[in-house]
């Protein structure tokens, strides 16, 4: 906490020194979303280059002055929280003055800018994510307050919280981890008691685009157990995008890549090539929208696709067909096809890329 306080004090000192010299104070932040500031490293994923370009948030420019003021406001809130050892979610910060902040995304962006500018992980700023991830399966651990948590009862779903990142005594006999894109599929696999029928495993869902806690937790489990991690996504550009976030990280959080990514993650399904192999009726597939085409074209150009020839092939199949499918399409074969046939066969015969 003293490191965080000192970092904020240094920023404020810079502002005061500028004012003392009758100069307009300026905050310098990284261009986090600029691909020119990002490099791809197979062992880490997308990470920010050491000599990244920056942008200035000036206090004397009508376009950036409001953002300058908001950054100072949030810095002061963080400073008070660290001093008093209290925490707030990004949502709490936004609702403390909705009129001032304008939108939740403004708050989210500023907090990420501050984290990157101070070179301090967001959780150390005492700002919590509103968590939405779930975990179930062969896993137990002890929370900080001594509470023992067991995720292995078929009905038990544990919400992934900030405090789980500090939990001790992680115990698991799982043979693999399965990251499931959507909550509906996750719940279906729970109902089918999938994680104890096939072989012991840990199932996780970020319920769509994963929040920070879910990504940190998967990384913690990977560091602890070093077991294979598979993803189960829709066969569409959005599902591929989400899988890439888990595996290689995102451009906007590339400054924290080494804590968030797991480059060993494998794509288990739903593969575009599976649709033909399983004779899925074309009537059950969904035509691409213009947005889908643009998203897929953007993914195909990314640096990590070049080192994944099998992924590239799957994306080419998707691009050629201009059709997408949700995991639920497998119910057209039989209601429990996913848990009874599809996943066991894939896991047994190595049907991943």
Reply yes or no on whether the pLDDT at 68 is more than 90.
Answer: yes
What mean pLDDT is reported for the chain? 87
CATH code linked to domain 134-349: 3.40.1360.10
Query: Considering the domain 2-128, what is its CATH architecture?
Result: Orthogonal Bundle (1.10)
Percent of the chain with pLDDT over 70: 97
Establish whether domains 2-128 and 134-349 are of one fold: no
Strongest mean pLDDT among 57-61, 226-230, 347-351: 226-230
Kindly give, in sequence order, each residue whose CB lies less than 8 Å from that of residue 79, ignoring residues fewer than 6 positions away: 5, 8
pLDDT classification of 247: cutoffs 50, 70, 90: very high
DSSP character at residue 81: H
Structural domain boundaries in the chain: 2-128, 134-349
Q: Tally DSSP H helices, then E strands, for the chain.
A: 15, 17
CA–chain centroid gap for 47, Å, is 14
Percent of the chain with pLDDT over 90: 37
Reply yes or no on whether the pLDDT at 144 is more than 80.
Answer: no
Reply yes or no on whether the pLDDT at 45 is more than 90.
Answer: no
Q: Annotated catalytic sites, by residue?
A: 95
The residue count of the chain comes to 353
pLDDT in tens, 264-282: 999 998 999 999 889 888 8
Q: Pick left, alpha or beta for residue 16 (phi over 0 → left; psi -120 to 50 → alpha; otherwise beta).
A: alpha
Residue 232 CB neighbours (<10 A): 25
Q: What is the structure's pLDDT at 11? A: 92
Asked whether the bond before 270 is cis by omega within 30 degrees of 0, the reply is yes
Q: What is the structure's pLDDT at 167? A: 67
Reply yes or no on whether the pLDDT at 154 is more than 60.
Answer: no
The answer to whether 174 and 139 have CB atoms below 8 angstroms apart is yes
**What token pair was written down for 238?**
């959005």
């Amino acid at each position: 906490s003293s490191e965080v306080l000192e970092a904020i004090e240094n920023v404020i000192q810079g502002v005061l020194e500028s004012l003392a010299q009758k100069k307009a104070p300026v905050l310098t932040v990284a261009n986090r979303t600029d691909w020119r500031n990002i490099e791809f490293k197979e062992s880490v994923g997308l990470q920010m280059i050491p000599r990244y370009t920056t942008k200035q948030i000036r206090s004397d420019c009508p376009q950036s002055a409001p953002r300058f003021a908001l950054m100072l406001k949030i810095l002061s809130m963080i400073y008070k929280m660290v001093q008093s050892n209290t925490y707030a979610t990004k949502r709490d910060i936004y609702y403390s003055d909705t009129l001032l902040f304008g939108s939740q995304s403004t708050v989210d962006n500023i907090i990420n800018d501050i984290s990157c500018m101070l070179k301090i992980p967001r959780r150390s700023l005492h700002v919590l994510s509103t968590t939405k991830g779930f975990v179930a399966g062969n896993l137990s651990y002890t929370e900080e307050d001594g509470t023992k948590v067991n995720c292995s009862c078929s009905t038990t779903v544990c919400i992934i919280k900030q405090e789980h990142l500090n939990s001790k005594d992680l115990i698991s006999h799982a043979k693999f981890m399965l990251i499931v894109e959507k909550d509906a599929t996750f719940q279906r696999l729970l109902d089918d008691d999938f994680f104890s029928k096939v072989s012991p495993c840990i199932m996780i869902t970020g319920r769509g685009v994963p929040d920070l806690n879910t990504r940190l937790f998967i990384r913690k489990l990977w560091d602890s157990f070093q077991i294979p991690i598979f993803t189960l996504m829709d066969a569409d550009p959005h599902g591929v995008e989400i899988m890439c976030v888990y595996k290689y990280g995102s451009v906007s959080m590339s400054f924290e890549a080494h804590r968030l990514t797991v480059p060993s993650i494998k794509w288990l399904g739903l593969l575009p090539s599976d649709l033909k192999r399983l004779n899925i009726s074309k009537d059950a597939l969904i035509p691409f929208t213009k947005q889908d085409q643009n998203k897929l074209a953007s993914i195909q150009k990314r640096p990590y696709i070049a080192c994944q020839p099998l992924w590239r092939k799957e994306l080419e199949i998707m691009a050629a067909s201009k059709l997408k499918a949700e995991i639920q399409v497998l119910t057209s074969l039989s209601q429990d096809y996913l848990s009874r046939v599809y996943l066991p066969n894939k896991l047994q015969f190595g049907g991943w890329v």
